[in-house]
Structure 1
Amino acid sequence: MARTRQPAAPKLPRSPKKAIEQLSRPGPHSVLRGELGLVGLPGVVYAPSEGLGLPAVAFGHDWLQGPDRYLPLLRHLASWGIVAAAPASFRGPVPSHARFSADLRSTLEVCVGVRLGDGAISVDKRRLALAGHGMGGGCAVLAAADRQAAGEPVAAVVTLAASETRPSAIEAAPLITAPSLHLAAGKDQVSPLVGNAEPVAAGWGGPVVLRSLPKANHLGFLSGRAWIDSLLAGKPHSGTARLTRALVTGFLLQTLFGDSDLDELVSGELKRTELLLTR
């Protein structure tokens, strides 16, 4: 793994506004990067430079995208103490949602079963989360439902502009009891709120927060540029990506670390967002 340096961060303030500002910046941990391909699954993994019993999240990419479009988010989560891994499979035009969701489950198994960072990093199997953008968000829901059906723990689920899948993420949502955060883009013409994130959140079987970013488009969560951007409505937006990093990090710190100081940030009213559902 190659080491990247991250500045130290002070204790998080209780004020949601100040917490968002803090969480939008890198956390206190130095970060290591590795390749999932070393254990037979293409993709990347970012981890704090050390720590035992850490939480982990498997992140699913959108249709025709790949993990490289989400590296700032993955690196950011690792800087806050969360192992973040993203498989690079099923990047073609006709992906199998069921098989990609299986790869997300396998990614979590790799995080738990393989000592990272020359053995200095381990993951707690009780603190595992699933997340994704667009197609990857829908597949994260499928993976969470499959894990729960198999009696495997799921501590949290996060979706960004979730897309419907086959089998259906909307139909799988009521089966999941883990806490969830769903972020929707107000100007999304690819995975509009109505028909995607909204029914997933409305039918969720556990605690749920649905929040819209009114000025965001479907590609606003991404970083960098790719040929597919010209075929889809919207473009990457640094402000959307930065706000998303803060919201996702805050939610995962609350659910995976039990940080109750972040309760208001997770489920309260926040500037530049619209809280649509909390239960």
Structure 2
Amino acid sequence: MTRTRASIRPPEASSIKDAVATLARPGPLEVLRGDLGIVGIPGILFAPAEGYGLPAVAFGHDWLQPADRYVDLLRHLASWGIVAAAPNSHRGLMPSHHAFAADLRSTLEVCAGVRLGDGHISVDARRTALAGHGLGGGAALMAAAGHPRVAAVVTLAPAYTHPGTLDAARAVTVPTLHIAAGKDTVTPPAGHAEPITAAAGGPVWLRTITKASHTGFLDGVHWSDLVLAGKPNAKVRALTRALVTAFLLTHLCGERRTEALVDGKISGTVLHHPAARVATA
């Protein structure tokens, strides 16, 4: 495989529908899996087999969820040239939100500060992002607030974390994408994603996947499925893969071919225009 300083460019697409289908499929790069435990943080990491100056994202899991339930998304991002890591800490009933945010920051520092893949993979610290689902989305905002180098933030069905989710959102001035689930009864958009979006301190997009539930973003089976409403959904995960990949390629890599998926009309979703703030409840 040829070493490259930038992530892979997606092919031209004749329509937004084709672009979604393309970015929902794995990219062309070979992917390696690693263990964050070797640097003192429990968790997993996926990266292209080779590449220098790559973008990277640290992803926070939802309440009770193991990081392995996001392997589908993490591996997918790596196949498109983005190093993706997820700490597996703070999975108890009463997790520390501040400590989880600190672990997300530490995960990014590891990605940017350590040569990966026997020295054949490196990350450009100026092209890093934070992301997360539910509780992990709130922790991602907390981790991004005031961070000197994070260039983008993505959340899936974000939840309030205490203290200070809205304060953190106000302090995040980089481009941020919130993906809400229209049938979410765990973190309903009106009480979570919408006020968080309204509080944003920088460019912000809120896109609702109309038929998604809170757990539609997950993969596999876990005992927590008994206490959380909804169930994993392959179609929701496929659409999420395309949306997250497009947003990160656009804002971490300056990729113009993916801009239509950030701002355009996409079937099965509703986009709240970034210029229009959502009223706080």
Structure 1-normalised TM-score? 0.94
Measured on the aligned residues, the alpha-carbon RMSD in Å equals: 1.3
Q: Which residue of 2 aligns with 1:211?
A: 207
SS of alignment partner, residue 122 of structure 2:
strand
SS of alignment partner, residue 194 of structure 1:
helix
Gaps of at least 5 residues in structure 1 are 1-7
The structure-2 alpha-carbon separation of the partners of 1:233 and 1:262, relative to structure 1 and needing over 3 Å to count, comes to: same
SS of alignment partner, residue 278 of structure 1:
coil
Q: Which residue of 1 aligns with 2:184?
A: 188
Q: Which residue of 1 aligns with 2:216?
A: 220
Q: Which residue of 1 aligns with 2:244?
A: 248
Distance 1:201 1:49 in 2: 36
SS of alignment partner, residue 174 of structure 2:
coil
Query: Quick check: 1:41–1:87 contact (8 Å CA) kept in 2?
Result: yes
The structure-2 alpha-carbon separation of the partners of 1:207 and 1:14, relative to structure 1 and needing over 3 Å to count, comes to: farther
Distance 2:137 2:165 in 1: 9
Gaps of at least 5 residues in structure 2 are 1-7, 276-281
Deviation at 1:262, TM superposition (A): 1.8
Q: Which residue of 2 aligns with 1:236?
A: 232
The one-letter code of the counterpart of 1:143 is A
Deviation at 1:10, TM superposition (A): 6.3
The one-letter code of the counterpart of 1:194 is A
Deviation at 1:11, TM superposition (A): 1.4
Q: Which residue of 1 aligns with 2:40?
A: 40
Counting only pairs closer than 5 Å after superposition, residues 73-112 of structure 1 correspond to structure 2 as: 73-112=73-112
The one-letter code of the counterpart of 2:226 is S
The structure-2 alpha-carbon separation of the partners of 1:159 and 1:264, relative to structure 1 and needing over 3 Å to count, comes to: same
> In the alignment, does 2:139 pair up with 1:161?
no
Q: Which residue of 2 aligns with 1:272?
A: 268
Q: Which residue of 1 aligns with 2:133?
A: 133
> In the alignment, does 2:30 pair up with 1:30?
yes
Once the two structures are superposed, residues 101-142 of structure 1 have per-residue CA deviations (whole angstroms, 9 ceiling, x without a partner) of 000000000001111000000000100100000000000000
Distance 1:77 1:94 in 2: 30
SS of alignment partner, residue 204 of structure 1:
coil
Query: Quick check: 1:210–1:275 contact (8 Å CA) kept in 2?
Result: yes
SS of alignment partner, residue 73 of structure 2:
helix
Query: 4+ residue stretches of structure 1 with deviation over 3 A?
Result: none
The number of equivalent residue pairs is: 268
Q: Which residue of 1 aligns with 2:5?
A: none
Query: Quick check: 2:36–2:44 contact (8 Å CA) kept in 1?
Result: yes
Q: 1:262 aligns with which of 237, 258, 265?
A: 258
The one-letter code of the counterpart of 2:246 is G
Q: Which residue of 2 aligns with 1:118?
A: 118
SS of alignment partner, residue 155 of structure 1:
strand
Structure 2-normalised TM-score? 0.93
Deviation at 1:261, TM superposition (A): 2.1
Query: Quick check: 1:9–1:26 contact (8 Å CA) kept in 2?
Result: no
SS of alignment partner, residue 45 of structure 1:
strand
State the identity %: 60
